[in-house]
Chain A
């Protein structure tokens, strides 16, 4: 019953969103005036290679085949889905003929690692401090936190990131300037490499945590301070429940609902990469990959990354829908 009435409609919605999103990814590049095949052929001839027309024609065919640009639009669309289902996103244009999926596969772990850690850290710290702020409005720690959160907000992120980089990597070279790990480091699961990884990830993570912590803190504070005024909290106080109980089970329990939804949504955004962070710290993640793909007009790569983030965000939305009734019984599975 629950399954039929709650899950199936949401699942259908999920599939529909995916279909539309991925179809858009198919359509948009085809509306652009530039043709990646001609682009690539031009580049080859521009390099001064002599190619006889027959060879050019042959190459054009091969490239069209590779890019899925052969045949009518509908035929292309079918091929597009067929390839997608086998995990084939076509070759990259700039790093021809490396498949796009390979490039994404090497970049994704860096981004996911970086964003997952900073998201979880900032969420946890922001949420806990927001809760403390409302429970103990006069505590020194949270007063400082409030000033910090308000003060950080107007600072553009890239400026803060650059300042961190200049101060902690250049003026006082405590942390490395760039990259995900040291040149020539042995990649492997050992202490030395892990430490190296951490040292490289520290500044990017710090910059993102500093940026995001304030948002989580303020959201938690605002939601919880409204809940404090709710009748059920006042009544819990009037019933003489211990303060701890009121804070945990009446205020925090309810304030966590929007926090958890926010967290789930942000988990979905991870697959889009952290563009500015990765550029400033030259971190080898999806954001950097996307940036260079855009600069070079590498359509396949842009499309591939977009598909990943579409899937990421819509899956996160589905997960939110599915867990929401567990968090808030007013929204039942019906």
Chain B
């Protein structure tokens, strides 16, 4: 049994402006499974719906975001949970932060600027473990901070007094202190400088190994996927277009979009100018007919313009959504 199973998930932003309904089809029929202990990567240009997918999967649904279809099932071993069908928001809250946690984007100001860091830990721990004695709380946090190479003294600081890298380490500490079963990391290294980025990736890797949680890593940075993930899904315009083991994606990519992404990566020793992916990602309000990638696809046929290819298994563990690669 996979620890996370997402079935035909559709999550749209539905807004109304001057009496007209706008539907941003940010996640449009996405299915995938993540196995326990695995690192599952999700890649794709910005705006393709990665963050929205994470929100929907963790049940963070706030207008205008709505789930129209689909199921998200967690199997924690001792407990199977269909998070979208939970009637009670309280139950969802109990899962979030404790059994599934988030490491948000590095640039994000995810800590309340007017409260001390310590409060963030207090709030989190109190929400999930109830109130505890101060000494026990301090001991617990100290131990965890030690393991992450952070100093207790930052607990008294306000967020603006810390560097971006430090803040990101703190959010990693927050996301892991309750030893969650699944960690969702959404662009955790974006907006950090390269040296700090490496440190953050190493830290995530280290904790994951110690706590043996499952990690879902979302980033547009393929280099990070290459040296971190076990499996990788490529997303384009609200859909997964290819999914396989990481080395399969990098060595035998099948989908034209994956090829395009890989071509834009710099290679060691190669001095030729990299072509960045030509064209722009489509609007998610007025999505192209047929295959959403066809306007940018060098090999598109008339069939591609009419019909939408399904994500089908090409060989074991390698799924592709393309008519040219045996799709139908």
Contact = CB atoms under 8 A, between A and B. Distances in A.
Interface of A: 230-232, 234-243, 245, 249-250, 253-254, 257, 327-330
A93 B67 CA distance: 75
B102 A238 contact: yes
A236 B62 CA distance: 13
Contact of A239 (B92, B123, B158): B123
A238 B112 contact: no
Question: Which of A230, A232, A234, A240 neighbours the largest number of chain B CB atoms within 10 Å of its CB?
Answer: A240
B205 interface: no
B114 A240 contact: no
A168 to B, nearest CB: 41
Contacts of B108: 231, 235
Contacts of A250: 112
Interface stretch (B39-47, B93-101, B138-146): B93-101
A286 B114 CA distance: 40
A329 B161 CA distance: 10
Nearest to B160: A330
Contact of A257 (B92, B111, B114): B114
A249 B111 contact: no
Given A249-B115, A253-B114, A330-B158, A239 B96 contact: yes
Given A231-B109, A234-B60, A330-B158, A239 B174 contact: yes
Contacts of A241: 93, 97, 123-124, 127
A245 B160 CA distance: 22
A245 to B, nearest CB: 6
B110 A235 contact: yes
Contact of B97 (A238, A328, A330): A238
A254 B114 CA distance: 7
Interface of B: 58, 60, 62, 89-90, 92-98, 101-102, 104, 108-115, 119, 123-124, 127-128, 158, 160, 171, 174
Contacts of A254: 112-114
A3 B14 CA distance: 53
18 contacts: A231-B109, A232-B111, A232-B112, A235-B102, A235-B104, A235-B108, A235-B110, A238-B58, A238-B102, A239-B127, A240-B93, A240-B95, A241-B127, A243-B93, A245-B127, A250-B112, A257-B114, A330-B158
A232 B102 contact: no
A245 B123 contact: yes
- State the majority secondary structure of interface residues on A: helix
A329 B127 CA distance: 25
Given A329-B158, A330-B158, A239 B114 contact: no
A245 B127 CA distance: 9
Contacts of A328: 113-114
Contacts of A234: 60, 110
A243 B102 contact: no
A249 B89 contact: no
A242 B88 CA distance: 13
Given A232-B113, A327-B114, A239 B89 contact: no
A323 to B, nearest CB: 13
Nearest to B92: A240
Contacts of A236: 112, 123
A240 B96 contact: yes
Contacts of B119: 249
Q: List the 6 closest A-B pairs by CB distance, nearest first.
A: A240-B97, A240-B96, A239-B97, A235-B110, A240-B93, A231-B108
B112 A243 contact: no
B50 to A, nearest CB: 15
Nearest to B102: A238
A166 to B, nearest CB: 41
A202 B262 CA distance: 74
Contacts of B123: 236, 239, 241, 245, 249
B119 to A, nearest CB: 8
A27 B127 CA distance: 63
Contact of B128 (A237, A240, A330): A240
Contacts of A230: 109
Contacts of A329: 113-114, 158, 160
Contacts of A238: 58, 60, 96-97, 101-102, 104
A237 B114 contact: no
Contacts of A245: 123, 127
Nearest to A328: B114
Contacts of B104: 231, 235, 238
B155 to A, nearest CB: 14
B9 to A, nearest CB: 18
Question: Which of A235, A254, A330 neighbours the largest number of chain B CB atoms within 10 Å of its CB?
Answer: A235
B232 to A, nearest CB: 24
A286 to B, nearest CB: 37
B143 to A, nearest CB: 20
A89 to B, nearest CB: 43
A234 to B, nearest CB: 7
Contacts of B89: 243
Contacts of A240: 92-98, 127-128
A319 to B, nearest CB: 19
Contacts of A232: 109-113
A242 B126 CA distance: 10
Contacts of B158: 329-330
